[in-house]
């Protein structure tokens, strides 16, 4: 009798689990069910049921505050890849030495931040590592439920053994780590919200904050770090740089982008419940769901990462290629690489200029977007001779009656 070949197929773990429950009820194995399906395909010469794409899509109920909140929390759960954390942090190695690191908005059991700092604790000569999780996170306590029920927890390391703490499957040997007398794992009193007094107290004690905070609270988060005068290296979306809270920090050289991400998209792991309804979503070979996100950048105020490399300028100014705005005394420069080397006045450049900006070469004056009239002081608006235009929607640069994109107004620094 010929042997049946074994076939490997990739199945979404959630689908596999739910289908397995149905087959259990019926009393057949997964393999028998798949064979039955394949035999029906052969018998009928087609897929033996209609494949439709017009199922109504589940929608979040925005009329229900609880559901809405849960939906927002879920959207904030993007777990950073180890390679992204490692690549950036190794640039700041010198500055990390002897420091207490705080990873809030995190999860010691899930986070690549905790994993990276724990594994490299001794090489980086860290003083301590603290990671806190948020009770509302759908991953909190799932993998490693702590005694004393669900809720937010905190992990603190002050020592790490010299031998490896990474198990053959790549996970951390948490038992060894937390059996060391200087280390601690336990519940927080509150829900781990970074705005609680308990979490603010941890923030005050930390030297450097490293995390990927919730995207929806990014401005509030960075404002808190600023108000506490903390050093930080955190992940965010470059759109945040154009907000009224964060743009002034870039303008005043209090924040800049980190070293390692300048273009493309980044992969983030998402909870198993995350809907895979976009082409940028998927499931990797280990069965983990991911999403790819564009425009991600490290935001930091760590001195070592500030690039003072000037942009190489090769273009010369001419009236035709660099039109004047109708509402600002400034010229439009559509691409950063086209900044004319011989123009001394104010220039409007794309937001991506921040990827290459050196404060030695240029001064940032303001952001010319739809909020300029409200966000920019009248002193600066008069400095660039802003004239209200009927179509400028709050301060967007106008060229020949058409609105330009949001532009950063800059000026070369005198040599």
For residue 223, what is the DSSP state?
A: H
Our finding on whether 105 is near ligand SAM (CB under 6 A) is: yes
Nearest to 77 by CA among 105, 103, 102: 105
CB neighbours of 171 closer than 8 A, spacing ≥ 6?
none
Our finding on whether 194 is near ligand SAM (CB under 6 A) is: yes
Nearest to 145 by CA among 171, 120, 174: 174
38 to 22, 32, 33, 41, 254: CA distances (angstroms): 18, 10, 9, 5, 62
Looking at 188-196, 301-309, 320-328, 401-409, which segment touches ligand SAM (CB under 6 A)?
188-196
- Alpha carbon distance 366, 414 (integer Å): 18
Minimum gap (Å) between residue 73 Cβ and ligand SAM = 6
Looking at 51-59, 91-99, 100-108, 387-395, which segment touches ligand SAM (CB under 6 A)?
100-108
Out of 128, 212, 300, 301, which residue is the one contacting ligand SAM (CB under 6 A)?
212
Out of 120, 128, 130, 137, which residue is the one contacting ligand SAM (CB under 6 A)?
137
First to last CA, the chain: 86
CB neighbours of 263 closer than 8 A, spacing ≥ 6?
355
Our finding on whether 70 is near ligand SAM (CB under 6 A) is: no
Minimum gap (Å) between residue 298 Cβ and ligand SAM = 12
88 vs 107, beta carbon nearer ligand SAM = 107
Map residue 197 onto helix, strand or coil. Answer: helix
Out of 96, 112, 177, 368, which residue is the one contacting ligand SAM (CB under 6 A)?
112
Out of 116, 121, 134, 328, which residue is the one contacting ligand SAM (CB under 6 A)?
134
Our finding on whether 375 is near ligand SAM (CB under 6 A) is: no
Out of 33, 34, 119, 217, which residue is the one contacting ligand SAM (CB under 6 A)?
217
79 vs 299, beta carbon nearer ligand SAM = 79
CB neighbours of 184 closer than 8 A, spacing ≥ 6?
154, 155, 156, 178
Binding site for ligand SAM (CB under 6 A): 73, 76-80, 105-107, 111-113, 134, 136-137, 192-194, 211-214, 217
């Amino acid at each position: 009798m010929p042997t049946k070949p074994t076939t490997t197929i990739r199945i979404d773990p959630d689908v596999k689990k739910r289908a397995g429950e149905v087959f259990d009820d019926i009393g057949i194995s997964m393999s028998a069910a798949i064979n039955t399906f394949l035999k029906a395909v052969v018998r009928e010469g087609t897929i033996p049921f209609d494949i439709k794409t017009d199922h109504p899509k589940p929608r979040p109920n925005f009329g229900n505050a609880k559901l809405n909140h849960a939906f927002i929390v879920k959207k904030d759960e993007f777990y950073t890849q180890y390679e992204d954390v490692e690549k950036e942090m190794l640039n700041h190695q010198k500055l990390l030495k002897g420091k207490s690191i705080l990873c809030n908005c995190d999860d010691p059991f899930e986070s690549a931040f905790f994993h990276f700092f724990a594994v490299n604790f001794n090489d980086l000569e860290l003083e301590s590592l603290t990671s806190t999780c948020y009770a509302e996170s759908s991953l909190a306590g799932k993998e490693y439920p702590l005694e004393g029920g669900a809720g937010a927890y905190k992990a603190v390391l002050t020592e790490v053994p010299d031998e490896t703490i990474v198990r053959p499957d790549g996970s951390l040997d948490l038992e060894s780590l937390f059996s060391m007398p200087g280390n601690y794992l336990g519940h927080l009193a509150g829900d781990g919200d970074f705005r609680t007094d308990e979490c603010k107290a941890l923030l005050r004690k930390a030297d450097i904050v490293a995390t990927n905070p919730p995207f929806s609270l990014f401005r509030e988060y960075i404002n808190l770090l600023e108000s506490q005068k903390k050093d930080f290296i955190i992940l965010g979306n470059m759109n945040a740089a154009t907000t009224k809270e964060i743009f002034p920090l870039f303008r005043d050289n209090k924040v800049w982008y980190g070293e390692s991400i300048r273009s493309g998209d980044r992969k983030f792991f998402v909870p198993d419940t995350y809907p895979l309804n976009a082409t940028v979503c998927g499931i990797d070979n280990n069965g983990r769901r991911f999403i790819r996100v564009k425009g991600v950048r490290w935001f930091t105020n760590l001195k070592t990462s500030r690039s003072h490399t000037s942009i190489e300028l090769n273009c010369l100014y001419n009236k035709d290629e660099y039109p004047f705005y109708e509402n600002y005394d400034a010229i439009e420069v559509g691409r950063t690489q086209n900044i004319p080397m011989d123009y001394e006045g104010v220039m409007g450049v794309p937001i991506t200029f921040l990827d290459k900006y050196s404060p030695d070469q240029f001064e940032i004056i303001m952001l010319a977007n739809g909020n300029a009239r409200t966000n920019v002081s009248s002193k600066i608006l008069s400095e660039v001779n802003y004239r209200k235009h009927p179509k400028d929607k709050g301060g967007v640069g106008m060229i020949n009656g058409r609105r330009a994109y949001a532009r950063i107004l800059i000026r070369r620094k005198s040599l």
